[in-house]
Structure 1
Amino acid sequence: MILVTGATGFVGSALVARLAREGTETRACVRRNGASLPDGVHTVQVAGLTADTDWRHALAGVAVVVHAAARVHVMVDAATDPLAEFRRVNVDGTLNLARQAAAAMVKRFVFISSVKVNGEATLPGRPFTADDAPAPLDPYGVSKMEAEQGLRQIAAQTGMAVVIIRPPLVYGPGVKANFAALMRAVQRGWPLPLGAVHNQRSLVALDNLVDFIVTCITHPQAANQTFLVSDGHDLSTTELVRGLARAARMPVRLLPVPVWALRAGAALLGKGDAVQRLCGNLQVDISKARSLLGWTPPISVDDGLRRAVAGMGKS
């Protein structure tokens, strides 16, 4: 039996669907009854992800936990103390679940972390690796790093294997936020000032991430390892927009505005972080996943973009 937390979220729902298709006995954690899940998937209602949550009923008979639930990164956080709020859910809640999982004799705990544990940007040709020293810069990244550290301690104390997966930006059917906004702009044929952005960024298609999680559920060499995951083919923002336009079968309308001008305009508008994400480098090296697990991304970037665009009407 596999327990999936965050089972109705972007990643969790796709993972549950994949496990159901393969006939894997799966239990999905939901916060309220009535969630739409594939036939054959067991559900268990859990009030929330806190230091006090009782997971005994959810963990009964479970061999592997995939922990995808989290307080997620937000662009504008209304909390008076964002780090405390992230820690309450992502650290205290996660470690409470892991301790109870170990006590319930769960064999493996797969934790969906974030590339933000590594940092926010890379130098050209210097991608992050899974074994780099952590350097998170925001409260969300700090909370994920602290959760990882606590999980490794629990693994050492109890013998429960822990697998940590740090994805970069995940895209696919139902994607939200900035990626969805960019897809809509391309589909509507809006001219975009992104024709001269020659950065390199790693992304991961939802199907590729789910496939990697499934690999980490069973692969013996994944135990007690940390992995970065991506599509294995990095893109500039200009290339990404062109790829989305091809997927949408729309003409691309790119204006070659210099990056310095984009940064200057963004600074005046207080949007410097947004332009950094569009213009900066963030690359990850997935050679550890390839060599240790023999894993390769099953779908290409073009296929991933086509699936994301096709899923726009379903989001």
Structure 2
Amino acid sequence: LVGGVPVLYQKDGETVGDFVRLVDWAEPSRNEFWAVNQFTIKGPHHTRRPDIILFLNGLPLVLIELKNPADENADIWRAYDQIQTYKEQIPDVFQTNELLVISDGTDARLGSLSANAERFLQWRTIDGVNLDPLGEFNELQTLVRGVLVPATLLDYLRYFVLFEDDGRLVKKVAGYHQYHAVRAAIGHVVAASRPDGAANQRGKGGVVWHTQGSGKSITMTCFAARVMQEPAMANPTIVVITDRNDLDGQLFGVFSLAQDLLREQPVQATTRQELRQLLSNRPSGGIVFATIQKFMPGEDEDMFPVLSDRHNIVVVADEAHRTQYGFEAKLKTRKVA
């Protein structure tokens, strides 16, 4: 869907290879969007009609199941159960599925094909700033306007769908907080990477705070995928820093499973010397993982050498609040009258 489909065809008596692009990601208006009500699908033993299917260039990418808000026994979780039935009875409609939406007209949740009920989440913003702008009884309208409008949907499908292995391979999609955090971070990082921006901001893009269990790994992976495709960054190198070996391995595993999204195989620096080799004079591109200890000088050195003077090396620090504030960090308090 993202990279295109490889094809072979004959030209001037020769077999030529190329890619057929299924989606024009840059120009939403060049794509065909259809929202079809009660689309009939015949399975091996059953015929079903999902409430709404969103088609992008003929591909059924989003399925929306609705329940009657007037029926006390038909809440959004009945809609979730209905989708599980569809998976068994009309599996063909899910071969290209990217998003599932369940709603009773007021409450609404968004999830992936492999998400359990717990992973179907609200989409609480339209502009990324104001929460629940249409009120708590208009979750469906907020979700539709916040993520399903063509330009936003294309951006979301391209950069915010990935796979992870939690004992089994699962498809994961970003929540509203992850989506808008990445979009905001991209703007700051692009500005900080410019020669004048680096001087004004000392090259700092900013900090994204996450509460425990809010999907930090997904945010970091989607950010890396998005910033690597940013034209202004000119094929940047991503350096991911953690403060513990177990975090380094865990996050490296998440990135490794997202190769289709990242278009790059990440590498892990196991020694200080290997880190230097990976970063020194690297012309562009690449994703490098290392623990922060590998940036300390060697036993016979007073300072760590400059590895590159490029402006498009993006450093992403995991758990930055633990060990990476520096020795001069201070906690300041103030009295409130």
TM over 0.5: no
> Which structure has the highest helix share of the two?
1
Higher relative contact order (CA 8 A, sep 6+): 1
> Which structure has the highest strand share of the two?
2
- What's the TM-score, normalizing by structure 1? 0.26
